[in-house]
């Protein structure tokens, strides 16, 4: 099968050696990806943005990075300048995810920026979790999404890496809410993290939740819902950091083979989820890139640099032809 | 304060070097402990039982091990012989916990043994979890407890390491059901395992659950309920095995200091929970041993042999005088 112009709407590439190790896997499978800005220091100004983009483009020639910047109190001039360079601005509730210690605390403190983003048509990307109990953080964040959606009706808001069934119900309730879904929240549950031996490689934020949540996500994705887009949240951490408890799943190497199995021949819905919905919802214009997937056994890598990927060593029924 | 004859109703001691490393902490705080039989191979016959008990007594002089054996298809002669040597027989649903691969699958397959245990007045100790979703395994096991309690009304059945609020409601519903509560299920939630960085040292089975579950356990324990007994389930694993995902919390070093803080001066309830309830419910006759706890700052060990304890390095307000 041929997939046309796949786009990963949520990707962590890091910098330096890790970027060099992981980016080829995304370039091999995707035309473009939204690159997240939670580096140390964060990507939150034009200079840092341009130098990070340059580093990415040095490694990947046949790939379009759609850059995000980290939320802060941008002024109008900064936003107008950034507008041409970025896809969206990423909002992390403070202290919840990797390198997000600089994230905003009260949503209202960024309202002036959100006003301008709405006016300038810059989308908002949100890591939607409260500081509550780990299994309830997304559910508790739902009122924040609803408030944002109502207060900024023309601001396009992306609920990133949705892992809780009830969040998906917001998509039909608010025109301006969208969702990305990761491979791991689509296919796994907390059982894969802690049901047998503890598996740090499937530990991430938002934590992978219940079978009920996973099944609801699968139903939404299989329905071809127009506002549900693939965003891997592939987040590479060296093994030694994962063993110290770092959050993130490195799924980049296995995405298209795993999704080809998941869609069981329904190429039309696969195409919408992996590309068309994103392009239509956000008018993303990137050069066409056809990616061929063949039905042929393929084994996922056991290790990539110092990083253990999702489904390491697993044999898939599909292979990407590079 | 003086605690009279504390008993740990659920303890893992292992064998060899680990036993030598960990047992002094229990001996220092407890008069006796129920020693669990899930070694490799399991303790499930008289010879293995006696040699294991001998190994324990070589290390701890001022301490009574109350021995459990692993459930299997014991015959009448074996049971009559074991009766004088053991406290209870431990039932693990197959494949759920460490070294429990030999556990029974269908509860009814052990009914002939349970009939004899009831007749011979040998208590049954149960790890109550199904094979379902990790957060629901205890709740799903409740009907099994109810069936056992009804089918063997004179068999004393201990619901071990209760971590789910609803299980505690069974105590007032069935005369013959009892419960042990661990330090970690009493004080922690899944947030301590996976709310921040992943913490493998608080990963155990049954998994530590929600704030609602923890709060219900705290209420039951603080109420002084007669059928609720302390059982640490302290389960030492060398660091290298914890980092590979082994389940178990090594709480032995910190139990009395942590409980002294928890009970906030309510020595009467503390005494019931840590000793009297167990002695009354099961007619446990062990020599009296007074343990003194003083209000003095004490720092929990960072490491014991190769094992990282619960609350490693934490400063407590209470100290056990040995």
Measured between CA atoms, the residue of chain B closest to residue A212 is B133
Distance, CA of A265 to CA of A17 (rounded, Å)? 37
Residue A173 phi/psi, 5-degree rounding, is: -90, -30
Over its C-alpha atoms, chain A yields an Rg (Å, rounded) of: 18
Looking at the complex, does the CB of residue B200 fall below 8 Å from at least one CB of chain A? yes
What mean pLDDT is reported for chain B?
A: 95
Residue B101 has pLDDT above 90, yes or no: no
Give the model confidence (pLDDT) of A234-255 as tens digits: 999 999 999 999 999 999 999 9
8 A C-beta contact, residue A138 and residue A128: yes
CA distances from A216 to A68, A128, B48, B205 (A): 28, 18, 50, 27
Looking at the complex, does the CB of residue A240 fall below 8 Å from at least one CB of chain B? no
Residue B114 three-state SS: helix
Q: List the strands of the sheet with B315-321, edge to edge.
A: B2-4, B290-299, B315-321
pLDDT of residue A103: 43
> C-alpha angle with apex B265: B260 to B268, nearest 5 degrees?
90
Residue A87 three-state SS: coil
Pairing between strand A228-230 and B157-159? Answer: unpaired
Distance from CA of A245 to the nearest CA of B (A): 4
pLDDT of residue B49: 98
Looking at the complex, does the CB of residue B191 fall below 8 Å from at least one CB of chain A? yes
A233 is catalytic: yes
8 A C-beta contact, residue A7 and residue A284: yes
Beta strands in chain B (DSSP E): 2-4, 7-11, 32-35, 64-70, 88-91, 124-126, 157-159, 177-181, 228-230, 290-299, 315-321
Q: Which domain holds residue A217?
A: 2-321
Contacts B195 to A, Cβ<8 Å: 133-134
pLDDT of residue B107: 79
Residue A47 three-state SS: helix
A198·B133 Cβ contact <8 A? no
Q: Is A10 annotated to bind ligand? A: yes
Which are the contacts of B134, defined by CB distance < 8 A and separation ≥ 6? A190, A191, A194, A195, B207
Contacts A210 to B, Cβ<8 Å: 133, 135
Distance, CA of B56 to CA of B51 (rounded, Å)? 9
Q: Read off the tokens for B271.
A: 């005494």
CATH number, domain at B66? 3.20.20.140
The shortest CB-CB distance from B207 to any of A194, A200, A207 is to A194
Looking at the complex, does the CB of residue B1 fall below 8 Å from at least one CB of chain A? no
Q: Is B201 annotated to bind ligand? A: no
Residue B159 three-state SS: strand
The shortest CB-CB distance from A134 to any of B191, B244, B247 is to B191
Which of A101, A130, A131, A134 best probes binding to B when mutated, by most B CB atoms within 10 angstroms?
A: A134
Q: How many residues does chain B have?
A: 322
pLDDT of residue B105: 52
A210·B135 Cβ contact <8 A? yes
Distance, CA of B55 to CA of A241 (rounded, Å)? 39
Domain count, chain A: 1
Report for A257-266, B91-100, B105-114: range of highest mean pLDDT: A257-266
Pairing between strand A315-321 and A290-299? Answer: antiparallel
In the block, tokens 């800005």 appear at A37
CA distances from B175 to B157, B181, B204, B281, B302 (A): 10, 18, 29, 11, 42
Nearest by Cα to B180 from B111, B237, B238, B127? B127
The shortest CB-CB distance from B135 to any of A190, A196, A244 is to A190
Distance, CA of B154 to CA of A270 (rounded, Å)? 59
Which of A97, A139, A198 best probes binding to B when mutated, by most B CB atoms within 10 angstroms?
A: A198
Pairing between strand B290-299 and B315-321? Answer: antiparallel
pLDDT of residue A102: 46
Give the model confidence (pLDDT) of A28-56 as tens digits: 999 999 999 999 999 999 999 999 999 99
Interface A-B: count of C-beta contacts within 8 A: 59
Give the model confidence (pLDDT) of B235-272 as tens digits: 999 999 999 999 999 999 999 999 999 999 999 999 99
The shortest CB-CB distance from A134 to any of B190, B203, B243 is to B190
Q: Tell me: ipTM over 0.95.
A: no
> C-alpha angle with apex A152: A224 to A116, nearest 5 degrees?
115
B211·A134 Cβ contact <8 A? no
pLDDT of residue A322: 76
> C-alpha angle with apex B141: B135 to B147, nearest 5 degrees?
165
Q: Is A258 annotated to bind ligand? A: no
Contacts B133 to A, Cβ<8 Å: 189-191, 195, 210-211
Distance, CA of B8 to CA of B180 (rounded, Å)? 9
- The strand pairing partners of A299, in sequence order, are A315
For residue B85, name the pLDDT band (cuts at 50, 70, 90). Answer: very high
pLDDT of residue B131: 87
The shortest CB-CB distance from A198 to any of B133, B196, B203 is to B203
Looking at the complex, does the CB of residue A155 fall below 8 Å from at least one CB of chain B? no
Q: Is A201 annotated to bind ligand? A: no
Which are the contacts of A178, defined by CB distance < 8 A and separation ≥ 6? A156, A157, A158, A159, A171, A227, A228, A229, A281
A203·B198 Cβ contact <8 A? yes
Q: How many residues does chain A have?
A: 322
Within 10 angstroms of residue B196's Cβ, the number of other Cβ atoms is 14
Which of B188, B198, B240, B249 best probes binding to A when mutated, by most A CB atoms within 10 angstroms?
A: B198
Q: Mean pLDDT over residues B121-148, rounded?
A: 94
Q: Is B300 annotated to bind ligand? A: no
Residue B97 has pLDDT above 80, yes or no: no
Q: What sign does the CA torsion over B26, B27, B28, B32 have?
A: positive
Q: Mean pLDDT over residues B214-230, rounded?
A: 98
Contacts B210 to A, Cβ<8 Å: 133, 135
pLDDT along chain A (322 residues), means of 10: 98 97 98 97 97 97 96 97 98 61 63 97 96 93 93 98 98 98 98 97 98 98 98 97 96 98 96 98 97 98 97 98 85
A190·B134 Cβ contact <8 A? yes
Measured between CA atoms, the residue of chain B closest to residue A211 is B133
B203·A194 Cβ contact <8 A? yes
8 A C-beta contact, residue A160 and residue A126: yes
Q: Read off the tokens for B256.
A: 């009395």
Name the catalytic one among A191, A233, A266, A276: A233
The shortest CB-CB distance from A203 to any of B133, B194, B243 is to B194
Nearest by Cα to A35 from A78, A86, A98, A101? A86
Q: Is B225 annotated to bind ligand? A: no
Distance from CA of B112 to the nearest CA of A (A): 30
Q: Read off the tokens for B248.
A: 């178990």
Beta strands in B71-207 (DSSP E): 88-91, 124-126, 157-159, 177-181
Within 10 angstroms of residue A264's Cβ, the number of other Cβ atoms is 9
């Amino acid at each position: 099968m041929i997939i046309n112009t796949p786009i990963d709407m949520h990707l962590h590439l890091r910098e330096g050696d890790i970027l060099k190790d992981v980016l080829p896997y995304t370039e091999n499978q995707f035309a473009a990806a939204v690159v997240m800005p939670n580096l140390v220091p964060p990507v939150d100004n034009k200079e840092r943005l341009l130098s990070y983009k340059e580093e990415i483009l040095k490694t990947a020639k046949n790939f379009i990075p759609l850059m995000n910047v980290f939320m802060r109190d941008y002024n109008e001039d900064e936003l107008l300048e950034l507008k041409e360079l970025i896809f969206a601005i990423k909002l992390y509730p403070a202290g919840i995810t990797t390198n997000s210690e600089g994230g905003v605390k009260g949503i209202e403190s960024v309202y002036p920026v959100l006003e301008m983003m709405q006016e300038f048509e810059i989308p908002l990307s949100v890591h939607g979790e409260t500081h509550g109990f780990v299994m309830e953080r997304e559910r508790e964040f739902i009122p924040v999404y609803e408030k944002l959606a109502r207060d900024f009706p023309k601001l396009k808001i992306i609920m990133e890496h949705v892992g809780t069934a009830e969040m998906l119900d917001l998509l039909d309730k608010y025109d301006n809410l969208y969702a990305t879904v990761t491979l791991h929240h689509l296919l796994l549950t907390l059982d894969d993290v802690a049901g047998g031996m503890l598996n740090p490689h499937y530990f991430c934020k938002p934590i992978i939740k219940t079978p009920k949540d996973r099944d609801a996500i699968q139903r939404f994705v299989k329905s071809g819902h127009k506002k549900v887009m693939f965003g891997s949240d592939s987040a590479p951490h060296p093994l030694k950091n994962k063993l110290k408890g770092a959050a993130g799943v490195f799924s980049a190497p296995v995405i298209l083979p795993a999704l080809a199995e998941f869609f069981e021949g329904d190429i039309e819905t696969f195409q919408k989820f992996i590309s068309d919905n994103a392009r239509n919802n956000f008018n993303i214009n990137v050069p066409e890139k056809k990616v061929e997937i063949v039905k042929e056994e393929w084994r996922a890598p056991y290790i990539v640099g110092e990083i253990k990927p999702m489904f390491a060593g697993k044999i898939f029924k599909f292979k990407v032809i590079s």
